[in-house]
């Protein structure tokens, strides 16, 4: 008698379990393919960095986008996707199902925002642009350059020139550190590739020296076609042991003291970046060089020119001798007057 009761109870238990599974399966199928609920069309939804499947499902429920957070969790676990949802800001659209929603989150199809790093920017200008971008999470505010390099875990000691000028797309909530690491890796990729294909017998001996000279070339001209020739002038001067004597390096060394006008006394005041008082390259880059400037330095144009002067139209007049250069300075900079200061490689004033 007892055996029969146990058997009957067991059969009833199995029956209830099967029915429960059938009901749950039906609810799950219905949930997967039923459209989500939106209070507006389209509607944005943000997954914060570090969120797990439970917190995401609860947030979806609180915002009334889905009606059952546990079914969303179950669906993700059955599909093996519970740890694959990516942080970001997502645009949800009408008629989107819960299954499609999960697919959107796991594929990381978030709204992308853009920030362009401009060729010739300094690192300070780059940080300013990043801090003003409301979609980037600021974690480096008020940090020193040394602290930033330590937080980024980069081998170089100084951040200037290390981040590649380009337009970057990223999801909302990207950290400034993550953004900088990405720009650093792209610069390293381009620089390493171009270094492997460099011309023979160039005076720069390391990729970092190439980056330094490329930053100087970048600041000397905005005319892309001139960069190989300007790089050729600097290459000639380095080979001959001449000072580079270029104003942008002096300006960089002046820092906050630069008021927009460079004077003769500024050229005489020694700093580590004054290429009028010191031979060779500056200790670090002075700006963010673009790919054209890097290529120009590693493939400089063959030239006998040792000087150039701005013509006032964005281009330069190149000269082989000091006499020719002084005449060019007089013509393009001084309205026919003789130069008041000693002529240099790049007379822009």
pLDDT tens for residues 231-250?
A: 999 999 999 999 999 999 99
Residue 38 DSSP SS3: coil
Q: What is the pTM of this model?
A: 0.83
Separation of alpha carbons 299 and 195, rounded Å: 10
pLDDT tens for residues 119-171?
A: 999 999 999 999 999 999 999 988 999 999 999 999 998 999 999 999 999 98
Pairing of strands 88-92, 43-47: antiparallel
Query: How many helices, marked H, and strands, marked E, lie in the chain?
Result: 13, 9
Residue spans of the domains in the chain: they are 35-110, 112-192, 212-347
76's tokens? 């993700």
266's tokens? 């500024």
Question: Mean pLDDT, to the nearest integer, of 47-60?
Answer: 92
pLDDT tens for residues 64-80?
A: 999 889 989 988 999 99
**pLDDT of the residue at 40:** 83
**pLDDT of the residue at 24:** 53
For CA atoms 319, 325, 327, 332, give the dihedral sign: positive
- In the chain, % of residues over pLDDT 90: 64
Closest CA to 188 of 177, 178, 176, 180: 180
User: What single DSSP character describes residue 246?
Assistant: B
Q: Report yes or no: 168 and 115 within 8 Å, Cβ to Cβ.
A: yes
Q: For residue 181, is pLDDT > 60?
A: yes
Separation of alpha carbons 122 and 2, rounded Å: 87
244's tokens? 């580079």
CATH of domain 35-110: 3.30.1490.480
Distances (CA, A) of 191 to 153, 168, 210, 259, 300: 19, 18, 8, 33, 15
Average pLDDT over the chain reads 88
Contacts for 2 with CB less than 8 Å, ≥ 6 apart? none
Q: Report yes or no: 276 and 210 within 8 Å, Cβ to Cβ.
A: no
Burial string for 49-63 (b: 16+ CB within 10 Å, else e) reads eebebeebbebbbee
Q: How confident is the model at residue 21 (pLDDT cuts 50, 70, 90)?
A: low
Burial of 108: CB neighbours in 10 Å, binned 0-12, 13-18, 19+: middle
Contacts for 83 with CB less than 8 Å, ≥ 6 apart? 52, 53
């Amino acid at each position: 008698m007892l055996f029969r009761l146990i058997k009957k109870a067991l059969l009833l238990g199995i029956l209830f379990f099967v029915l429960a599974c059938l009901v749950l399966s039906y609810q799950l199928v219905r949930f997967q393919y039923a459209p989500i609920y939106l209070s507006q069309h389209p509607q944005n939804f943000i997954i914060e960095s570090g969120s797990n499947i439970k917190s995401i499902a609860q947030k979806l429920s609180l915002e009334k986008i889905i009606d059952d957070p546990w079914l969303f969790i179950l669906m993700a676990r059955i599909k093996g996707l519970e740890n694959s949802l990516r942080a970001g800001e997502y645009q949800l659209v009408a008629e989107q199902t819960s299954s499609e929603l999960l697919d959107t989150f796991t594929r990381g199809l978030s709204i992308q925002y853009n920030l362009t790093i401009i060729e010739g920017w300094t690192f300070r200008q780059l940080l300013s642009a990043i801090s003003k971008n409301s979609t980037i999470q600021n974690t480096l505010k008020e940090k020193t350059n040394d602290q930033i390099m330590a937080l980024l875990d980069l081998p170089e000691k100084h951040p200037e020139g290390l981040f590649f000028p380009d337009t970057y797309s990223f999801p909302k909530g990207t950290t400034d550190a993550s953004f900088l690491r990405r720009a650093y890796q792209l610069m390293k990729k381009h620089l390493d590739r171009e270094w492997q294909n460099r011309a023979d017998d160039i005076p720069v001996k390391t990729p970092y020296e190439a980056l330094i000279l490329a930053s100087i070339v970048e600041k000397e001209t905005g005319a892309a076609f001139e960069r190989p020739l300007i790089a050729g002038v600097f290459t000639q001067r380095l080979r001959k042991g001449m000072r580079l004597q270029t104003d942008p390096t002096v300006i960089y060394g002046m820092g906050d003291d630069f008021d927009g006008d460079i004077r003769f006394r500024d050229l005489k005041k020694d700093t580590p970046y004054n290429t009028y008082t010191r031979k060779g390259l500056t200790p670090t880059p002075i700006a963010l060089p673009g790919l054209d400037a890097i290529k120009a330095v590693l493939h400089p144009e063959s030239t006998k020119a040792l000087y150039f002067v701005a013509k006032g139209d964005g281009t330069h007049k190149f000269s082989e001798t000091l006499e020719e250069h002084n005449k060019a300075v007089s013509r393009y900079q001084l309205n026919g007057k003789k130069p008041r200061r000693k002529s240099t490689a790049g007379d822009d004033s």
